[in-house]
Structure 1
Amino acid sequence: MGFMSPGQVVWFEIGTTDPQAVAGFYGPVLGWSFEVDEDSSIDGRTYTRILAPGAPWPMGAVQQGDTGGESVNLSILSSDVRADVDRLTGLGAAVAVPATQVADVTVFARLADPRGNLFSLFSQSDSERFEERIAEAGEYMEQAASAPPPGSPAGFEIGTADAQATADFYTAAFGWRFEKTGTADGTPCQAVYGPGAEHPSGLLRDYGGRTGAVDYAMPVFLVADAAATARAARERGAEVERPPSAEPGGPVRARIRDPRGRRFGLLARPARQPAG
């Protein structure tokens, strides 16, 4: 299966009542640019595409005000949103936004998994234009996977106090596969593979048994220097919830809460070791 196959996380969305505040934070911290998508804006609420520095294709969007608060969610491609909503509620998901047709562009819905984490579904409409856009996005994502620019997606991370329940839900929901990879910061971790994927696209952290553990699902972004980016985020009002750290030979990871409380991750690739 390719990047743009049903069941794959291919997008992320930031829900907010203040799109300008989102741009004012993430633009300087991660170098993002923003452009309003007139086709996908609803009832006067803007839907603003997010682009990584130098990227020709958006990687996510800012959704104004439809959930009544500040949020971030992963977005998963579906072959049939309405059918998937019915199927996933049967697995314990709750509907936040029902299946909704947006012009002739797409159908989307927003749900919460059994642990309370928001995610969205979207499927292509019968629009030839949308099919062309999906094809273009797939081509860009294939190219970006080999040389992604800083500020672009580096996968996703799910933290949970019940790893088994979380893995069971996403396996049944989307055909994801989970494989143990050891620990990070003393936390047991599993690599997350999309349906049919050869390489992992996400990480599951098992916080079971920890006092005050909070479930979350967040996008992770590639940066050149995780420590410098974390400092820049803190200077603009964010909380560095998990400071930059790395296992030997592994990437540097950090977890940030932006000024409105939304979580996102940073990932910096390990420095190359000098040839011996």
Structure 2
Amino acid sequence: MGFMDPGNVVWFEISTADGEAVKEFYGSLLGWSFAVDEDSSVGGVTYTRIMAPGMPFPMGAIYDNAHSPVEATNVSIVSADVAAAQERLEALGATAVVPATRVCDVTTFARVADPRGTVFSLFQNDQTPERLREFAERGQEQMAETAARPVPGSFAWFEIGTADADATRSFYADAFGWRFVFDDTAGGKPYHNVFTGRPWPSGGMYDLGERGVDYLMPLFLVLDVPATTAEAERLGATVEFGPDANPDGLVYARIVDPRGNRFGLFSAPTTTQHA
């Protein structure tokens, strides 16, 4: 399965009314660099690409709209036809938050809430086959480089938190063909690895139990989770969970940034695996 095949999670966005505050926080915490996308910055919105340290290819973006009523972070899932996918997901119980919308001539996106209210994006790129192939190859190369030589600050995992694991698993399996496999390296935690079509997992599902609050968030690779978590707190963030360690050495924390957006941090386990 290729990088840009439907069902893959390939991007994340931070929607905010204060892009400068977002850049200051994550730039200080994770060393991100930023570049404004002039083609996508229209109608009072500034669209800013996000790069991990030393990586030339963007991994996400800041959607900066001073009139935005809601702060949100969501991951983007590749779709071959966003409008058709939106209709199919609505039949599965999802709700369109932002219906299929065409932007900058080559991109169509939609924001969708799953049946439990968790929001994610659908993403379709209609560039020429040659340009799309180049985009996919660059993304694949960056993924391979990150897997072989993990880059601190990179978007390397996604996580679904749910208070109803059966309903969540059923929806995403039907929606995208995702496969959920219990993680027996997590020390008994109710955690499942999520396979989106590749031979290795690219995300996970955490069964939070009945009192949990559902979410879908990006996770960023760091070298020292406790130290980075402490720095996030110093910069005004709130720690929801962790830092916590698995028996294999993976360390994890779940954090809410000063604007109210949720993200995760993790460091690689003792035995390096694909992210």
Q: Aligning the two structures, in what range does the TM-score lie when normalised by the shorter sequence?
A: over 0.9
Which position in structure 2 is the counterpart of 1:120?
121
- Report if aligned partners of 2:100, 2:108 keep a CA contact under 8 Å in 1: yes
- Report if aligned partners of 2:251, 2:267 keep a CA contact under 8 Å in 1: yes
Task: Give structure 1 stretches of 5+ with no counterpart.
Answer: none
Which position in structure 1 is the counterpart of 2:135?
133
Which amino acid counterpart does residue 264 of structure 1 have in structure 2? F
2:152 to 150, 159, 166: 150
Q: What is the CA distance between 1:67 and its match in structure 2?
A: 5.7
Q: Distance in 1 between matches of 2:68 and 2:199?
A: 35
Q: Percent identity?
A: 55
Q: Distance in 1 between matches of 2:109 and 2:130?
A: 17
How many residues in Structure 1 have an aligned counterpart in Structure 2?
A: 269
Q: Distance in 1 between matches of 2:3 and 2:174?
A: 20
Q: What is the CA distance between 1:40 and its match in structure 2?
A: 1.5
Which position in structure 1 is the counterpart of 2:7?
7
Q: How does 1:65-214 map to 2 (within 5 A)?
A: 65=65, 68-127=69-128, 130-131=131-132, 132-182=134-184, 184=186, 187-195=189-197, 197-209=198-210, 211=211, 213-214=212-213
Q: What is the CA distance between 1:116 and its match in structure 2?
A: 1.2
- Report if aligned partners of 1:3, 1:142 keep a CA contact under 8 Å in 2: no
SS in 1 for 2:40: coil
Which amino acid counterpart does residue 171 of structure 2 have in structure 1? F
Q: Distance in 2 between matches of 1:67 and 1:129?
A: 35
Q: What is the CA distance between 1:231 and its match in structure 2?
A: 0.7
Q: How does 1:243-262 map to 2 (within 5 A)?
A: 243-262=242-261
**What is the root-mean-square deviation of aligned Cα atoms in Å?**
1.8
SS in 2 for 1:46: strand
TM-score (norm 1): 0.92
Which position in structure 2 is the counterpart of 1:60?
60
Q: Distance in 1 between matches of 2:200 and 2:191?
A: 16
1:210-250 superposed Cα distances (whole Å, 9 cap, x missing partner): x3x11111001000100110011000100111121112123
Q: Distance in 2 between matches of 1:177 and 1:253?
A: 22
Q: What is the CA distance between 1:102 and its match in structure 2?
A: 1.1
Q: Distance in 1 between matches of 2:130 and 2:46?
A: 21
Say if 1:231 and 1:185 are closer, same or farther in 2 by CA, change over 3 A: farther
- Residue 226 (1) aligns with residue 241 (2): no
- Report if aligned partners of 2:17, 2:68 keep a CA contact under 8 Å in 1: no
Q: Distance in 2 between matches of 1:121 and 1:207?
A: 25
Q: What is the CA distance between 1:271 and its match in structure 2?
A: 4.8
Q: Distance in 2 between matches of 1:94 and 1:8?
A: 20
Q: Distance in 2 between matches of 1:181 and 1:64?
A: 37
- Report if aligned partners of 2:249, 2:270 keep a CA contact under 8 Å in 1: no
Q: What is the CA distance between 1:108 and its match in structure 2?
A: 0.9
TM-score (norm 2): 0.92
SS in 1 for 2:27: helix
Q: What is the CA distance between 1:26 and its match in structure 2?
A: 0.4
Q: Distance in 2 between matches of 1:60 and 1:72?
A: 10
SS in 1 for 2:13: strand
1:92-144 superposed Cα distances (whole Å, 9 cap, x missing partner): 11111111111223111111111111111111114457513333223322332
